[in-house]
Structures are given as structure tokens and as C-alpha cells.
Amino acid sequence: MKLGLVVHESRGDVLEFARRFVAATERAGLVAVAEPEVAQMVDPSKLAPGTPDVVVAVGGDGTMLAAVQVALAHDVPVFGFNLGTIGFLTEVEPQELDAALDALAAERFEIVPRMGIQATLNGTTAQGLNDVVVEKVDTLRLIHLEVDIDGTRFMTYRADGLIVATPTGSTAYSFSAGGPLVDHSIESILLTPVAPHSLFGRTVVLSPDSRIEIRVARDRPARVSVDKEGLGQAQSDDVVVITRAPNPIRFLRFRHRSFPRTLTEKFGLG
């Protein structure tokens, strides 16, 4: 089994763990592969390019989002070791390195699909795991966003931005903007305004099969991103079309943990 290593940061502790991962992978009878830039950072003598069977992230949630894109490109599962602050998307703690690799070698795991999200702007499409964000460019001026849901006008937001999130993304930017936490096994789309200047500023939870169209209603441009990666800038009358992604993201899981238990562990509750 080939494990595709993704390292998104050049922090010393991350690189040190990545080197431990490469050595432990070899001991477990597995093969670690990586893109040249990652191999150069970690260990160019032991990491070669190759097509992964599983993508492995070493870092925090930002690294996981980068690893998701690699997994989508190769149509393989993904999991991560948590070297971040919260690491909500990661599966394994660093001290579990050997146990996780032994489980991989013995194929003691399950694959859990998670709903993704897709956005199209001016003919360019991107897929993500967490969210699509349409937000203001000029920090001093609100943007006006007209929202249609399944072909019917919903409302116009005057706000700093609008977050369209998956249940997985409910624990990210949407949560910090006041949205609810949604169990990742419940498929839905969350619509959360950022600093809205209107009487209605609540999150709306929609069917996972909803088609959301967001039109920039005035001559104030909006920045559009998918999982923090820029998709482009929407000008007046441009429309961002957002739907469920055609393919789920497959997460590799070594043990079952309920969503409440995950919240308790990651946020230090209880």
C-alpha cells in the first residue's frame, strides 16, 4: 500500500514527525510517496513520487484541506495526524503513529464518505470539503448578495459575506460566524451570513440537493473561495452557483467515535 504524504507547513515539529512517519511506514511494510516539494522538505532520500492508495496529512485542518484535494485528484481515501491546534478533521494523534500504520497494513479500518460542496463562477468550478465563502473585498463597504434557492428568490443579504457550508464545514468558519454544529453524518447545506445588516441573520439549513445561486447585486466586488482557496472575484451581476459536489470525500477511520464524543475531545468539553 502506498501512502501519499501531504505536509502543508514547514514547522519544525511537523517535519520531524513526517520523518518519523516515513521511517515507521517502512517498518510496517508500507510505502511512503510524496510530491517533490514535500520530499525535499522531509527526506528526499526516502520519498519518491508515486500514485497513492491513501493520502495522509501531517499537520492541522489546513493541511487536511490540502490533502483532500490530493485525495480527490487520485480518487482515494484520506486521513490525517493531528499536529494542529484543534485538528477537527484529523483522525489520529501523533502518539498513535505505530498503531495506525499497523492497522493500515492489516486493513483494519473503514471508509466513511462525507458530502462535499462545489462552486462555479464564470465557467470555473472547484470542489471542497468545508465551505464556499463569498465575501467583501473592500473592508469598509458591505456587499449585497441576492440568493436564489432552487430557482426561487430567497432574500438579499447586506453583509460582510455569506458562507455556504457542508456539515463538516459547520465546525469551521460557519461556526465562528454563529452557525450550528451539525453531525457530519447528516447531509445538508448550511447558509450562514457573516455580520449581516438585516433583521434576519440566522443560519438556514437546506436540503443537500439544493441549488444555490448568489448574485452580486451592486458594483461592489466579492471574493469567492472554496476551502480557503480563491476561485475568483465576482463583479456586479456575476452569479456563483453552489451545489453538492458530485463525488463524496472518503475518510479513512480506524475507530468509531460519535459526533458528541468528537466535540468533547476536540473542544475539551465535559
CATH number, domain containing residue 238:
2.60.200.30
Q: Is residue 103 located within the same domain as residue 211?
A: no
Q: Is residue 239 located within the same domain as residue 167?
A: yes
- Catalytic residue from among 13, 53, 61, 98: 61
Between CA 174 and CA 172 the distance in angstroms is 6
Q: pLDDT digit of tens for each residue in the chain (270 aa)?
A: 999 999 987 788 999 999 999 999 999 999 999 999 999 999 999 998 999 999 999 998 899 999 999 999 999 999 999 997 777 888 899 999 999 999 999 999 999 999 999 999 999 999 999 999 999 998 888 999 999 999 999 999 999 999 999 999 999 999 999 999 999 999 999 999 999 998 788 999 999 999 999 999 988 899 999 999 999 999 999 999 999 999 999 999 998 888 888 888 877 776
Quote the number of domains for the chain.
2
Phi, psi of 64, rounded to the nearest 5 degrees = -60, -40
Asked if 53 is an active-site residue, the reply is no
Global confidence as pTM: 0.93
Task: Output DSSP code: residue 197.
Answer: -
What is the DSSP secondary-structure string of 203-221? -EEE-TT--EEEEE-SS--
Q: Is residue 132 located within the same domain as residue 106?
A: no
Q: Is residue 206 located within the same domain as residue 99?
A: no
Find the domain containing 187 and state its range. 117-244
Q: Is residue 146 located within the same domain as residue 97?
A: no
